[in-house]
Each structure stands twice: as C-alpha cells, then as structure tokens.
Amino acid sequence: MFELPELPYAYDALEPYISRQIQELHHDRHHKAYTDNLNKALSVHPEWEGKSIEEIIRGYASAPDDIRTALRNHGGGYYNHSLFWLMMSPKKDQRPEGSLLDAVEASFGSYDAFVKQFSDSAGKLFGSGWEWLVLDNGKLALMSTANQDCPLTQGKAPLLGLDVWEHAYYPQYYNKRPDYVSAWWHVVNWEDVQERFDRAGK
Ligand code: MN
C-alpha cells in the first residue's frame, strides 16, 4: 500500500505563484486519486505489492496485462507528484549554484538560456504531460513526457519536473500556461535539484 505523502509545506506556502486553491485540489484530490488507483491496481496482483515505486515505474512493461496501463498512469501519477512537491520550495527565487550551475552552463550555455529552452518546450507540449530536466548518461538534458510517463522508465534520472496538466494551473492561470510556467520558476527548489544531481551522478 502506498500512502499519499503530505505536502512538505503549507498549502499557501508557494503563494503568490501557486495558489492555495491549486495546492489543495492538486494534492488532496488529484494526487490522492493516483494513490488510490495505484493501490487498487496492485491489490489485484499481490505479487506486485511489495515492489518499490521506482521498481514499478521502471518495470511496468513486464506487469500483468490487466494492470499494466493502470500502473503506468496511476503509478506514474503517484511518483511524479511525490517528486513535484519536493521540487518546489517556499524559499523563493533560488538559483542553481556550484557544480549544478556549471553543468547547466555546459549543457545550455547559461541559466537564462536553460530557463528559456525549458519554458519553450513546456509551452509546446501538446495536451497533458510533464517537462523535465534529466540526467542522461551523465549529461543534463530536457525531456517531455505525455500523460504521467516518467523519465525513469527510459533510464533517465529526473532532476526537475514541471506538471503542465491543466489541473496544475487552470484555477489560477486559466488557459495561460506560459504565465504559470514563468511564475513557477520563482518556487523551484534548486537545493533539491542539486541533491538529485549529486545522487544521480554517483
Ligand atoms: Mn498534476
């Protein structure tokens, strides 16, 4: 049984960039639904119940036919959102530093160029999905995934992810995804990205 993780800060801690209303709906309803549906799917095949969420995300292709899609959608939703809360912080306007900043500059030219490329890609992502900064064979790269697919399934380490499903921004930003994306940069938890970068590089 997987449990819905608590938000690591108050519902209104990311305001004014991400509203309390969004956080309440997104965590208490959407993330809870992914959690419940993941548990429901696993209960059908108890041999899968002991696996870690990372094992499920990496290995859903080998899951039984009748739960494979549920694991992909709801396991992905469970995991991606568990990461997403940690990848944001009430400590606003952080910037990458040190070894991470060096890697960003090596791969994208500069922090500003990285923000622009990531934001452009997030804006172009059609329908529902996620935009990611990943570590792929030791190098930083951008990646877009549809629905609740996760870079981990393709052997890439997610360092930073942005949820661009409408449920992530519509109550505050309506159809203006670019406004949501530019506001979101204020709450990115670069300390968390640095920790993921250090762990993934080892
Ligand atoms: Mn979401």
Strand ordering across the sheet containing 157-163:
139-146, 129-136, 157-163
pTM, to two decimals: 0.97
CATH number at residue 187: 3.55.40.20
Are residues 117 and 194 both part of a single domain?
yes
Burial class (CB in 10 A: 0-12, 13-18, 19+), 80: buried
pLDDT band of residue 201 (cuts 50, 70, 90) is: confident
Cα–ligand 1 centroid distance for 81 (angstroms): 6
- The protein residues having their C-beta less than 5 angstroms from ligand 1 (an ion) are 163, 165, 168
Distance 73 CA to ligand 1 centre (A): 12
pLDDT in tens, 115-154: 999 999 999 999 999 999 999 999 999 999 999 999 999 9
Q: What ranges make up the beta strands (E) of 22-148?
A: 129-136, 139-146
CA distance 5 to 79: 10
Give the model's pLDDT for residue 125: 96
If asked whether residues 103 and 74 sit together in one domain, one would say: no
Task: Using the predicted structure, report yes or no on whether residue 202 has a pLDDT greater than 80.
Answer: no
> Pick from 86, 112, 144: which residue ends a domain?
86
Conformation bin of residue 168: beta by default, left when phi > 0, alpha when psi is -120 to 50? alpha
